[in-house]
Every structure is written in C-alpha cells, then in structure tokens.
Structure 1
Amino acid sequence: MYDVFKVVNWLRVRNYADMQTNPNVEELTQMKAMKLLYYLQAATLSITGHRLFDNDLVAWKYGPVVVVVHDKYAGHREIVGELTDQDRADYALLQADQPTADILNSIYDVYGHSSAYDLMQQTHQEKPWQITRRNQVISDQVIKDFYSGVFVADEN
C-alpha cells in the first residue's frame, strides 16, 4: 500500500510528461485527480483484493473524493505545477513495482484523457457512488463488487 500523495505525484508526473509531447493534453486538475484516484483504487481492489492507498473514498456531490488530497489542493484548479525531485522519485517508485505500474498505466491510458466533467458524469452513473449517501465513505466491498467484472488482470 502506498501513501496517496505518492500516487498523486505519479499522476502529476505522468500528466506533465504527456503535456510535453502532446499540446492538446490539459494539465491535471484536482477534480480529475480525484476521479483517477477512485478508478485506481477500484482497479487495485478488484485485481489484487487490496487497496492501493489507505485513504477512504468519500461520495461528495461531484463524485468520489479523497479528503486529504482535496484539502491539500484546495483553491487550486490545476495541480501539476513545478515538479520536484521527490515527485519524480515517487513516480519511479511506483513504476518499479510492476503489478502496481500495470494498474496505474492501464487506468491512466483508459481514463487519463477524459475530462474531469466526463469522469464525474461517469462516476455518477455507477452504483458505488449512487448507493452511497453524500459525504459518506464508499465501502471497499461495494467498489470491489461493482468493478470486479470491469477491471480484470491481464493474463498476457
């Protein structure tokens, strides 16, 4: 299990790299990071049976949120900013863990180019957010039950 901010740094570094190679890539926003964290946690729970990070996902009005990440970036729309050596080290650490890197890269490849709004709309159409009362924790079991048929390990 990783510190959630290491996962956020992975997202920031990956997004920064994408922005360098594609002028159409938008900088990662706080809202989009929340939805990506949600799908990363869902995929990890579904594939490994364990959490990627220890923090709970909470069902807020605009979709799933990791409260400590929201609090850190409160007032900031975009969250990539200037990358530090530590940010890059966090990225390298997660990339070096092959099973984790496979999940991170797969989820980013599928959802990383969607807008924050589209990801919010998508989470609102899915059972875990729908059945969880606002401002309550979305249970790991509900997430796992819903996404186990969606996120599956690649057998190749």
Structure 2
Amino acid sequence: MHNTALCEQCRDLVVFETAEQKITTEIKGIKFTYLATVAKCPNSDCHEELYVAELHDANIDKMKAAYTLARTETVKKLIDEITEKYNIGKKPLAKVLGWSETTIIRYYNGEQYPVKEYLSMLNSIKDDSRKYRDILEKGKNQLTDVAYRKSKAAVKELRIELPKSEKKIDSVIRYLLLKCEDVTPLSLQKLLYYSQSFNKVFNGKFLFKDDCEAWVHGPVYRETYYKYREYGHNVIDTVKLEKDNFSLSAEERELLDCVVKYFGCYSGKTLEQMTHSERPWSTTRKNLKPDEYSYDKISKDLIETYFREVKEKYNLINPNDLKSYSMDLFKKTPC
C-alpha cells in the first residue's frame, strides 16, 4: 500500500500517518466496538482524516468481524440467561420450543444466527416467565420428568418473588423503561400519555385508571412525577427494575412496543412540544399563561375523542401505523 493520499483540505498529495481509533457503532440493535486504522494528514495545521481505499476496505472487514462476534455473544448470553433463569438445559429448552437440538447448539456456538421468529421467541420468554410457563406446560411431554419438575420449580420460585400489589401504571412504567433506552422523567410522562391514549383507541380501554394533569410541561401523572423527580433531567436508572411479570396483555405489549418505537426515539422536550400541539392539553390549559401552574385533570373523554379523530385522520389501522402520526407531529414541532 502506498502511503500517499489526497488531502481535500490541503488540496495536496501527502504522505499520511496512520493511527488506531476505537469505534463504537450499532447494527440491527447490536452495539459493538472495533479498532479501525485511520489515515491522517501530517500537516500540523490540518490533521484531516483521509480516504484510503485499502484502509477503508480493511476497516469494513474489521467491522463485519466485530459485528459477527458481538451478535454471536448476544445470542449466547440470551440463551445462557434463559437456561439459568428457568433451570433448564439447552437441549431440553430446544425440545420445549419445538426446535431441533442441533439448531440451538448452532445458535449458541455462533455457527448460525436465529431467524427473526426464533430470536423473538427467545427474547419474549426471557422477559416473560408466564409465557415460558405456558410453553413449558405445552411441551412437558418432550422432557424427562426430572427436567420438567426442575424447570417448573424455577418458574414457581420466580413468581413468588414478584410484587403482588403493583398498580397497572407501574407495570406499564417498568415495561417502558426496560424497552426504551435513556428515559428521563419528562419523556416517561409523555410516553405514558401516548400509551394510555392510543391503547384506548386501538384496544378499546385505557391502560390504567390514573388521570393526567395539564402541567406547564405537558400531561403529567402526579404520582409518577413524585416517584421519579429525584432524577431531574437525568436518565432513570433501570438496574434494579424487576424484569418480569408485567400485568399486560399481548395486545397491550404490542401497543407499548410501537409507542416506544415511534415516540421513544424523541427527547423529552420534543415530546413535550408534541403534546402542546394537541387539543387535550391545550384545551385543558384554556387561557392560562405558558408558565402558570395548573393541576386540572385532562379528562379521559377529551383524550378519547381527540385520539379517535387522529386515528381516523391518519388512517391508523394498527399500532404500527403510529409512525405517520409521530413523524407529522415532529415536523410541526418547533426546534
């Protein structure tokens, strides 16, 4: 490889220097890091990064290798978590799931990556012990009596340790926090609001009984505010959150996943501006000044009426269609 390249900044052919650079990126939800070799202009007043075809190709190969390794480790960790959590071996797990024993071993060893359907199944039973319990009961005839009893006992023990008196809104909060990265108290309030509103129009009922209030910074659920206000503008810590036993139906989870996907990608301030542009909050605020305190409740009737109109206007057939509405709101949101 010739150590010369064109520096577009200096507009000259230079003998470049190389340096190692740690790069962290994400592909298909998998974060990984690799060490790239980059070329730099040697001129003291420049140091512009240069394009060198050989280095570029080599870095692409490094990235692919690092991604493949990270992807393998992700699946391996996922299978380890499931087998440890439910006290079941890899091959018995495959039998319960209706897979061949060689399939799960290939996944575990990185010889093959799970198809979308199989990966979704692994993730769902990791997070939902009730779903695993149902699968275990259906597939128990595929297991030895000892393997079945050991795994059933592990599931029972998990359920004993879970909270028994959790309010529905708290279950929704846990689900949102675990599914959406970097949630602040402000963004959590707005995700709760959209989850509550769209669940009513798509699934026919509100997710929880709690009412929200028309505060200065948008709809707010008072108890939730006091529970998480210590975080201020910082991200809410999810390390100690229980990751199981959500009191949510499959339809509710699907709705929440779509809210996370199409609204959780925005900052709390952007979500605040979105809710300001909608009728439920603005109507409840009436003629109040922008910074004037108010604890007036936003009526559920007003929420239902408005979001049914949204559903019709944007032709929202199912929760996956929320993308069109969220994007339109974002385009109208002032920077």
Q: TM-score, normalization: structure 1? A: 0.81
Does structure 2 retain, via aligned residues, the 8 Å contact 1:13–1:80? Answer: no
Helix, strand or coil for the counterpart of 1:32?
Answer: helix
Residue 90 (structure 1) shift:
4.2
44-53 or 114-123: bigger deviation: 44-53
| Rg larger in structure | 2
User: Which position in structure 2 is the counterpart of 1:137?
Assistant: 297
- CA–CA distance in structure 2, aligned partners of residues 36 and 28 of structure 1: 9
Distance 1:150 1:98 in 2: 23
CA distance in 2, matches of 1:117, 1:46: 25
Residues 59-92 of structure 1: CA deviation (Å, up to 9, x unaligned): 10000011110011122132134133x2x1145x
Structure 2 gaps of 5+ residues are 1-166, 286-293, 321-335
In the alignment, what sits opposite 1:114? Answer: 266
Question: Within the alignment, does 1:39 sit opposite 2:203 as a pair?
Answer: no
> Structure 1's 55 and 155: CA in aligned 2 closer, same or farther, altered over 3 A?
closer
SS of the residue corresponding to residue 59 of structure 1 reads strand
Cα RMSD of the aligned pairs, angstroms, is 2.0
Q: Which residue matches 1:62?
A: 217
Name the residue aligned to 1:80.
Answer: 237
1:155 shift after superposition = 9.3
SS class of match (2:310):
coil
- Runs (4+) of structure 1 exceeding 3 A deviation are none
Indicate the larger mover: 29-38 or 143-152. 143-152
1:45·1:140 contact (CA, 8 Å) conserved in 2?
no
- The answer for unaligned runs of 5 or more in structure 1 is 17-26
Does 1 or 2 have the higher relative contact order (CA < 8 Å, sep 6+)?
A: 1
Q: Give the structure with the larger strand fraction.
A: 2
Q: Do the aligned residues in 2 keep the contact of 1:46 with 1:147 (CA within 8 Å)?
A: yes
Q: Is the 8 A contact 1:7 1:90 kept in 2?
A: no
In structure 2, relative to structure 1, the CA distance for the partners of 1:38 and 1:119 (3 Å cut) is same
Name the counterpart of 1:21: none
DSSP-derived class of the 1:83 partner? coil
Distance 1:57 1:120 in 2: 14
> 2:270 aligned with 1:105, yes or no?
no
2:55 maps to what in 1? none
| Aligned mate of 1:6, from 164, 171, 183 | 171
SS state of the match for residue 64, structure 1?
strand
Q: How many residues align?
A: 140
Name the amino acid aligned to 2:253.
A
Q: TM-score, normalised by structure 2?
A: 0.39
- Assess, with a 3 A threshold, how the Cα gap between structure 1 residues 146 and 13 changes in structure 2: closer, same or farther: same
CA distance in 2 between counterparts of 1:122 and 1:101 reads 23
SS of 2:219's partner is strand
Cα distance change of structure 1 residues 155 and 66 upon mapping to structure 2, 3 Å threshold: closer
Q: Assess if the C-alpha contact under 8 Å between 1:38 and 1:64 holds in 2.
A: yes
Between the aligned residues of both structures, percent identity stands at 28
